[in-house]
Structure 1
Amino acid sequence: MCSAPARPVHPAPEPVPAGPVPLAARMRAVRGSAIRDLLTLTARHDVLSLAGGLPAVDLMPHERIAAATARALAAPAAVQYSETAGIGALREAVAAHESARTGRDLGPADVVVTSGSQQALDLLARATLDPGAAVVVEDPAYVGALQVFQAAGAVLHGVPVDADGMDLDALERLLDGGLRPRLVHTVASFHNPRGVTLSQQRRARLARLADRYGFLVVEDDPYGLIAFEGPPPVPVAAHGDRVARLGSASKILAPALRVGWLVAPPEVGAAVERLKQSTDLCGSALTQTVAAELLADTDWLQRHLDGLRVAYRSRARAFTAAVDEAFGDAVERSTPTGGMFCWLRFTDGRDTSALLARAIEHGVAFVPGSAFAVHDPLTSALRCSFATYPEPVLQDAVRRLARAAAPSTAPSTATAS
């Protein structure tokens, strides 16, 4: 009688000691957001926060949003699951909006609606980047883009920004030297954080470089419609096909709608839609219905945008005038022509990260330049948003910052009125 072969005896596995739950290796590359941390730190009534890019609550169309919401709730579909790529009415409105901006003939099928443009950027990175892929970003860069690309395992290459936007001579030197990026990310209009705008000549040149070297331009455009003088800048996408445009209703309507969108080459849009299905199935049909009504009412939207531009222009001028009066030659600053941000640099080279703690003691907050740094440490720079508050509060905030920056001053107990 044959017996079964003896099974090998394996030693029992050693127990794993209790401890923190292990995280994916990719998380080591993702640095925390200084802006997120500041929003927590400055959620105090006695701190005037110039840190976050928060649109002004008093300029949001509350009554129109309320009326549109009431109309949306009358339709059962507004509280049901919807298409992954977004409801048809919103995709149609966005396609018409983007066609007018870019001069391209776009239809609803060209649009993927996302939960804010940040989700669009994340899905786009996941759809196009393998670990180790090269990505070009502006230096300084939008913090949210840095986090997305770091999470994707990309290798970042910073290109300096000057008064006319991304330095394309520097970019072309990298390309001529053999760099082959998968993506080139730009906040071309009213840059976050520098506040500058990519010139039209550079926009056309960037599109040509994308065709020549085969990369995809990611045109992140949440601020383009907030131009203080004249029409909005013509998008990079008007000059070439290898461009993915990211747009948002957050800065022009309300962040709580969580409506963003992506318009990209068909294969990219299809990949983003597939990934979105695995991420959240679909967005909110209710807020998309509200956004669709507001974006499709072009006459109302134009009047609303005109009001935003006037108000933000006035706030930008009040802020920069207060900076000039308080600091004089001690600070160099940008001159905002749109958007929400002003970039400051202390000419004595002081460390703004160290200044921040002192500023919060004096009741004001900003984002240190180092939060946006890729290669250049930017330790003497800072970003301020002038959008959130009316002019008198902005002037008070600058006075608080000046007191914090002055030597041997005691903290202020003043609060905003």
Structure 2
Amino acid sequence: MSEERGSLSVRAVRGSAIRDLLAVVEQPGVLSLAGGLPAPELLPTERTARAAQAALASPAALQYGVTAGAPPLREVVHARESTKLGRDAGTVVITHGSQQALSLLAQALLDPGDTVIVEDPGYIGALQAFDTTRARVVGVPLDAGGMRVDELRSILQRERVRIVHTVSNFHNPGGATLTEERRRELARLADEFGFWIVEDDPYGELRFAGPTVPPVAAFSDRVIRLSSASKIVAPGLRVGWMHGDAGVLALVERLKQGADLCGSSLTQAVTAELLADTVWLDGHVETIRSVYGERARALHTALTDAFGDRLRLTTPEGGMFLWGEFADGTATSANLGEAVDAGVAYVPGSAFAVQRDLAHSLRLCFTTSPPDELREAVRRLSTVL
């Protein structure tokens, strides 16, 4: 039977090279730096089990819920977000991970042909969400200070930009954090030109070095913040959220009714308890930061020792990824198969390219391997690259 062509929307969506790659590299003997998963040994199975047992004491945990999300969870998320902003503002919608939040926001705000600005390299999940609306996606270069906000004005003056999407903290894949100066300027531009900023922030609490930077939403009301419990608790809960303008979130809620009626009452009750238990959560997140910091430094040091000035690396301060660019023209896509044969995997930079040529770049994840394995992975990598 021949494969259906599908709708124009699905034909517009690019595939995820990372998802395709994971099926190849998960074989015995391969040390994978390609994924983007939390460390499995840090997932709080016992604490989550106790929260689930407590939730199941009420039949409501197994019943349909309201579309916007369970009120106790919305309340704790609103309190957390308001603390980060330094003011009480915005409303909350709970989503099936922050990826659903991206998808619903794209549908709520974009018409075919509208312009969306993203970082280049870009987060693949965001690119896929915007592709479904057949919007025009424009990439703005990323450097060590995050998105090159200085390049936005000329685009804004000639295009009808509806959304600027930024992974503001510890960018996936670029590893960079948007500086406070650039955050303030991005907020000023949103107020001047009337576009919406989607501040995608799943990694912000995973800082293990350097000072914390205020959210972009601290400087403008034209910001919708996205985050989730996936990186600080567990991705299997599939609990994400958006926080911001009530009018925009009302549009999202209407679309969500047609997407899934409501989220899981059980996992939302579990997540509400875990996020509200601040003594436990603070200690848990601090453990994650400590482990990830050690692993990030081990990987960065090993790469620097192995490749020297040939490989320009982001300096790890948090999150889950390092981004590297070879200065000597090494082609990371062409060498991937040989690397897997040598027992190590990474994601070529071209998988994240919007408009830039990223054929000499790569993304490396440090979260799921201890330092000794990371050093061995770099040794194998050096035999190929």
Matching of residues 28-43 of structure 1 within 5 Å: 28-43=11-26
Structure 1 residue corresponding to 2:107, chosen from 126, 131, 142? 126
Structure 1 residue corresponding to 2:307, chosen from 327, 337, 354? 327
Distance in 1, matches of 2:309 and 2:179, equals 27
Deviation at 1:59, TM superposition (A): 1.4
**Which amino acid in structure 1 is aligned with residue 253 of structure 2?**
E
Q: Are 1:95 and 2:78 an aligned pair?
A: yes
Deviation at 1:19, TM superposition (A): 4.1
Q: Which residue of 1 aligns with 2:97?
A: 116
Distance in 2, matches of 1:33 and 1:136, equals 19
Distance in 2, matches of 1:142 and 1:284, equals 26
Cα distance 1:160–1:336, how it changes in 2: closer, same or farther (>3 A)? Answer: same
Q: Which residue of 2 aligns with 1:249?
A: 229
Q: Which residue of 2 aligns with 1:12?
A: none
Matching of residues 56-205 of structure 1 within 5 Å: 56-106=39-89, 110-176=91-157, 178-205=158-185
Distance in 2, matches of 1:346 and 1:85, equals 45
Percent identical pairs in the alignment equals 57
Q: Which TM-score applies when normalising by structure 2?
A: 0.97
**Which amino acid in structure 1 is aligned with residue 239 of structure 2?**
V
Contact 1:189 1:197 in 2 (8 A): yes
Matching of residues 213-232 of structure 1 within 5 Å: 213-229=193-209, 232=212
Structure 1 residue corresponding to 2:267, chosen from 254, 266, 287? 287
- My pick for the range that moved more, 328-337 or 118-127, is 328-337
Distance in 1, matches of 2:32 and 2:382, equals 15
* Structure 1 ranges of 4+ moved more than 3 A: none
**Which amino acid in structure 2 is aligned with residue 153 of structure 1?**
R
Q: Which residue of 2 aligns with 1:349?
A: 329
**Cα displacement string for residues 196-225 of structure 1 (whole angstroms, at most 9, x for unaligned residues):** 111111111111100100000000000001
Q: Which runs of 5+ in 1 are unaligned?
A: 1-17, 406-417
What is the DSSP-based 3-state SS (H/G/I as helix, E as strand, rest coil) of the residue aligned with 1:354? Answer: coil
Contact 2:5 2:11 in 1 (8 A): no
Deviation at 1:232, TM superposition (A): 3.6
**Cα displacement string for residues 42-77 of structure 1 (whole angstroms, at most 9, x for unaligned residues):** 221321111121110111222111111111111111
What is the DSSP-based 3-state SS (H/G/I as helix, E as strand, rest coil) of the residue aligned with 2:333? Answer: helix
Distance in 1, matches of 2:71 and 2:269, equals 9
Distance in 2, matches of 1:402 and 1:221, equals 33
Q: Are 1:314 and 2:289 an aligned pair?
A: no
**Cα displacement string for residues 232-290 of structure 1 (whole angstroms, at most 9, x for unaligned residues):** 42100010100010011101101000000011211110111111111111111111111
Distance in 2, matches of 1:230 and 1:72, equals 38
Q: Which runs of 5+ in 2 are unaligned?
A: none
What is the DSSP-based 3-state SS (H/G/I as helix, E as strand, rest coil) of the residue aligned with 1:352? Answer: coil
Q: Aligned-pair RMSD on alpha carbons?
A: 1.3
Q: Are 1:278 and 2:261 an aligned pair?
A: no
Q: Are 1:340 and 2:320 an aligned pair?
A: yes
Deviation at 1:291, TM superposition (A): 0.7
**Which amino acid in structure 2 is aligned with residue 84 of structure 1?**
T
Contact 2:89 2:244 in 1 (8 A): no
Contact 2:180 2:214 in 1 (8 A): yes
Deviation at 1:231, TM superposition (A): 5.5
Cα distance 1:398–1:160, how it changes in 2: closer, same or farther (>3 A)? Answer: same
Contact 1:226 1:232 in 2 (8 A): no
Q: Which residue of 2 aligns with 1:298?
A: 278
Q: Which TM-score applies when normalising by structure 1?
A: 0.90
Contact 1:340 1:386 in 2 (8 A): yes
Contact 1:187 1:219 in 2 (8 A): yes
Distance in 2, matches of 1:360 and 1:404, equals 10
Distance in 1, matches of 2:45 and 2:214, equals 29
Deviation at 1:366, TM superposition (A): 0.8
**Which amino acid in structure 2 is aligned with residue 212 of structure 1?**
E
Distance in 2, matches of 1:347 and 1:158, equals 22
Q: Which residue of 2 aligns with 1:9?
A: none
**Cα displacement string for residues 320-352 of structure 1 (whole angstroms, at most 9, x for unaligned residues):** 011112212221111111101101111211211
**Cα displacement string for residues 298-320 of structure 1 (whole angstroms, at most 9, x for unaligned residues):** 12211111111111111100000
Contact 1:225 1:232 in 2 (8 A): no
Q: Are 1:403 and 2:383 an aligned pair?
A: yes
**Which amino acid in structure 1 is aligned with residue 180 of structure 2?**
Q
What is the DSSP-based 3-state SS (H/G/I as helix, E as strand, rest coil) of the residue aligned with 1:117? Answer: helix
Q: How many residues align?
A: 385
Distance in 2, matches of 1:312 and 1:20, equals 43
**Which amino acid in structure 2 is aligned with residue 32 of structure 1?**
G
Distance in 2, matches of 1:259 and 1:209, equals 31
Distance in 1, matches of 2:324 and 2:209, equals 22
Contact 1:224 1:233 in 2 (8 A): no
Q: Which has the larger radius of gyration?
A: 1
